[in-house]
Amino acid sequence: MSPLSRRVREARERAGLSQGELARRAGVHPTYISHVESGRRSLGEDALARIAQVLDLPFAFLRDGEAAPGYQSADTAIVEARRLTRTGDPRGAAEVLAGVDVSGLDVDAAARVGLAHAEALDLAGELEASIDVLERLCAQLLDAHRYDRAAYAAMRIVMALTEAADLHRAVARGEDLLSRLPAEATAGDEVVRLESTIIWAYVARGDTTYARYRGGQLLARARAHGTPRAVSSVHWNLAFVDDALGEPGSALLQIESAIALAGVDEVDRDLPRLRLDRAVLLVSVDPPRPVEALADLDAAQTALEIGESQVELARAASVRSRALLLHGDPEAAVRYAEQAVELLRDGVRRDAASAHEVLGDALLAQTLSTEAVKEYRSAADLLDMIVSGRPAATLWRRIGDRLRLAGDDDARVAEAYGRALAAAGIRGDMPPRPRRTGLEIHPDR
């Protein structure tokens, strides 16, 4: 079978057309498509153009495949964007990918460019722009019946909205996109992973009881019909449910189940991120296990660096700082916490508030109270920009505890506790926000 014959057959099958139906719509003899796909006949330019139109494919792709000039340009742009990202210029990478003309590409090639563009924008701290790209891409993939790819793009949308702490929107958008997938697609790995990510958004929003119920149902379905990777994804997100319910030991068991299943595949890009989340839990259990957490971080670090996600690298640095602090090395803890703060300087994320918090803890452990208060206040300033919910309430309460331990004034401490109550939806009188003066120090953004 020639490459052209293979492209025609694969495109026809993806479109859900029989050979006879494609021939009828393209205006060719009923046996013509069969002969083309078997390699017994070649395609003239006119017939090729009509078949490309029916299959909704660019003529150049159907004729030349990925050797077509537009495809070579797109591949070159993706390679250049990766180079720019590795050298610390994700905005430059986003500009390169924004300049790619995808009008001459098939939907799958256009999706590769779109996903790379969204990732570059995310790394540059432009979450809303990244979400806009993913939304357009998801709509195109749904229209083209590329349901697995559409589910993956939808999952990225939910993840980005959750990272931006736009939790109500994350849940609503995720449920809407999930409902657009046909029933026959719901057993696919990417669809299971999408629903798992929606459960994570419910947890972040504070709907932990519903998240546990929904997660149990999804786990049973994934075990019956899914692959080990799909089941791993559900265990992974159930770990967040258990942790949110104050059960870090149970959460750790869920993560370990997810790691065991992820290891079934020879290469799994999720494994480093699972190890990172396991490290988070290891410093949270009672008693904490910082040495094991550091071992997990060491095992994940190289893969996280290759993955080039500043958010994940920042989370790893924050967790390493926490583990080092528990291990009795506050000076090293300060260095890694400062690294996390720097990586998250652009954009507004919950992780950035947590990074300032852990830096404050490391400074306080060295009795640097003034510097610690500055970091806690920076965390509070970031929390002001984050939508209310259980995570925000938890962070505000911790910031209140830290400000009190660092000796900040009573008004600041009371304000933090009041905001924790407000974020949790508990009504009450909150103290007025302290008036800012020109002498106060604010974090660079």
Sign of the alpha-carbon torsion through 141, 142, 146, 149 = positive
What number of residues does the chain have?
Answer: 445
Residues of the chain by 3-state class (helix, strand, coil), percent to 5: 75, 0, 25
Q: List, as one string, the DSSP characters of 347-408.
A: S--HHHHHHHHHHHHHHHHTT-HHHHHHHHHHHHHHHTTS--SHHHHHHHHHHHHHHHHTT-
- Three-state SS at 254: helix
Structure-token match 């300060």, residue found: 334
> Amino acid identity, residue 15?
A
The greatest distance separating any two alpha carbons of the chain, rounded to the nearest whole angstrom, comes to 85
Structure-token match 């159907």, residue found: 62
**329 burial via Cβ count (<10 Å: 0-12, 13-18, 19+):** middle
Which two structure tokens, joined as six digits, stand for 195? Answer: 């629903």
Q: Which helix (H) or strand (E) holds 42?
A: none
C-alpha to C-alpha distance for 131 and 128, rounded to whole angstroms: 5
Q: Beta-carbon neighbour count of residue 223 at 10 Å?
A: 12
DSSP state of 443: -
Give yes or no for a contact between 268 and 233, defined as CB atoms under 8 angstroms apart: no
The alpha-helical segments, DSSP class H, found in 16-106 are 19-26, 32-37, 45-54, 59-64, 69-86, 90-98
Q: What is the pLDDT along the chain (445 residues), one digit of tens a residue?
A: 677 777 778 777 777 788 888 888 888 877 878 877 777 777 677 787 788 778 777 777 677 666 666 788 888 899 999 888 877 788 999 999 999 988 878 888 899 999 999 989 988 878 899 999 999 999 999 998 889 999 999 999 999 998 877 889 999 999 999 999 998 777 788 999 999 999 989 988 888 889 999 999 999 999 988 888 889 989 998 998 998 888 989 999 999 999 998 865 534 568 888 999 999 999 989 899 999 999 999 998 888 777 657 788 889 999 999 999 999 999 999 999 999 999 887 655 668 888 999 999 999 999 898 898 889 888 888 877 665 566 667 778 888 888 888 888 888 888 888 888 877 666 554 444 444 333 333 333 3
CA angle 227–233–238, rounded 5-degree value: 130
Model pLDDT, residue 141: 93
Structure-token match 């849940």, residue found: 171
Give yes or no for a contact between 336 and 366, defined as CB atoms under 8 angstroms apart: no
Which H, E and C letters describe 108-126, residue by residue? HHHHHHHHHHHHHHHHCCC
Give yes or no for a contact between 423 and 391, defined as CB atoms under 8 angstroms apart: no
**CA nearest to 259, candidates 281, 292, 235:** 235
C-alpha to C-alpha distance for 177 and 439, rounded to whole angstroms: 48
Model pLDDT, residue 296: 94
